[in-house]
Amino acid sequence: MRKTNEKNIGKVIEDMIKENNLSDGIAQAKINAVWVELMSGPIISRTNKLRFYQGKLTIFLTSAVIRNELDYQKEELRKQFNEKIGEELVLKIEFK
């Protein structure tokens, strides 16, 4: 009998993501999509950028009023992000 190198396609993709350190970039793309889905137009238009690194999501806003309002909803937003993504990815949210 010959040995084969057959692998599950999901396992191959997962290995490739780990080897090439793509997991943070993929997480960032998911988070950007969820932010647009969760927030309204005025909030999105006042968002400069989102940065995700090691479980911490930093959201840069141009409006102090919106920043202050969202700060009160931080924990609920974190739960919504993780629910939409389907895994416990966002551990902490910070607004700047």
Q: Which pLDDT tens digit goes with each residue over 31-75?
A: 899 999 998 889 999 999 999 888 899 999 999 999 999 999 999
- Phi/psi at 79 (5° precision): -65, -40
Distances (CA, A) of 88 to 22, 52, 63, 80: 18, 13, 28, 10
Query: Residue length, the chain?
Result: 96
CATH topology of domain 9-95: GMP Synthetase; Chain A, domain 3 (3.30.300)
pTM of model > 0.85: no
Mean pLDDT of the chain: 86
